[in-house]
Chains A and B, each alone.
Chain A
């Protein structure tokens, strides 16, 4: 069994876990508190949309990078084995 390879997969899991927690903290500390000094309902609604959009975009970027990392690692390992 290729233990080094399994250790690398465990490393990917650890990285994904750590970045997920960091991402959550980032969203909570920097995106959720965003406000605009206006009582207007439309403005509040737009800010709400912006917060959801920004958080969603960050989550998508995170998923894209995770997928890219696994793809690059997979093909590199497969080619190294042949």
Chain B
């Protein structure tokens, strides 16, 4: 049941995480440039060096605002502590991967194991609600789905972090969808946790949008993916999240299906897109290249990087509308 204080805490949490990220990113840009923690922006003809691991600001702001929620909402402490542990563990995995790339099979395994606090603390209800069907009972299968879901969500978000603002933009839409769906379905955990993650992501998007001043790195994308999966499970928004994540799932699923398994980005020799002389991106014609969402979009003709991201965001908005429709079908008992 949503109460007025919950909405005030959500708004305050949103503001705290927004301000922390907004202040922290310029500091990280300076520090990472000094230390040489930079990555090459491969989708631009001049190949500029951009500071990496900016997602550290997302992780820090989520930690601080979750601690705020622990202090003000005593009745939900168990859920917030679970969220905190999952996000911190996955964030550490992401940071390690940014510093020293992990084995492509080890990364999903570690992110899947990070879901264990949800099962250990019992902060889930194994009765997901579906539209038309209603409440279901998945007592035995549900914990296995949590483990798989966290691995899928973190890596799907990570795989869409390929262009300036693509991860932050699409995930901001996704979290806004979860926030609206939480209000529709009366999930106070969903409202509080979506609000703090959204605040952080919107502030990060300001610096990460085209032309990016900072990259999120795996520390950012894996943290956001873990936050989304944990919100979905603890906020009882499973099916809504699956629908809202459609662009991320499409990107990950068709990439993996076309290359035939889990491979690290650096291991894939045939690139899905190429940069033309005029700076536009075009779909690769190499049959060995993965069919990513960007390649699928570019099959219709070359586009500039910011135009591809606009299409990503458009697809996220559309999936968000379908997800809210799904939430309404559940709420109306249809």
Contacts and interface: CB of A to CB of B under 8 A. Distances in A.
Interface of A: 1-2, 4-6, 9-10, 13-14, 16-17, 20-21, 24-25, 28, 63, 66-67, 70-71, 74, 77-78, 81-82
The 7 closest A-B pairs by CB, nearest first: A5-B300, A2-B300, A77-B299, A28-B133, A78-B299, A67-B257, A2-B301
Contact of B322 (A14, A66, A77): A14
Contacts of A1: 301, 303, 307, 311
A62 to B, nearest CB: 12
B135 to A, nearest CB: 11
Given A13-B246, A77-B300, 15 more contacts: A5-B297, A5-B301, A6-B311, A6-B314, A13-B315, A20-B242, A21-B326, A24-B132, A24-B133, A28-B132, A67-B257, A70-B291, A71-B258, A77-B299, A81-B299
Contact of A70 (B133, B254, B303, B307): B254
Given A24-B132, A67-B257, A74 B299 contact: yes
Interface residues of B, number: 32
A44 to B, nearest CB: 14
B291 A82 contact: no
B142 interface: no
A66 to B, nearest CB: 8
Contacts of B258: 71
20 contacts: A1-B301, A2-B300, A5-B300, A6-B300, A6-B311, A13-B318, A14-B322, A17-B243, A20-B242, A21-B326, A25-B132, A25-B133, A28-B132, A28-B133, A66-B253, A71-B291, A74-B295, A78-B285, A81-B301, A82-B285
A39 to B, nearest CB: 21
B319 interface: yes
A63 B253 contact: yes
Interface string B233-260: 0000000001100110010011001100
Contact of B246 (A16, A28, A77): A16
Say whether chain B's binding surface is mostly helix, strand, loop, or mixed: helix
Contacts of B253: 63, 66-67
Nearest to B314: A6
Contact of B315 (A10, A66, A71, A77): A10
B311 A21 contact: no
Given A5-B301, A67-B254, A78 B318 contact: no
B272 to A, nearest CB: 11
Contacts of B300: 2, 4-6, 77, 81
Interface in B277-334: 283, 285, 291, 295-297, 299-301, 303, 307, 311, 314-315, 318-319, 322, 326
B136 interface: yes
B250 A13 contact: yes
A26 B122 CA distance: 30
Interface string B143-175: 000000000000000000000000000000000
B131 interface: yes
A13 B242 CA distance: 12
B79 interface: no
Nearest to B296: A74
Contacts of B311: 1, 6
Contact of A13 (B130, B257, B285, B319): B319
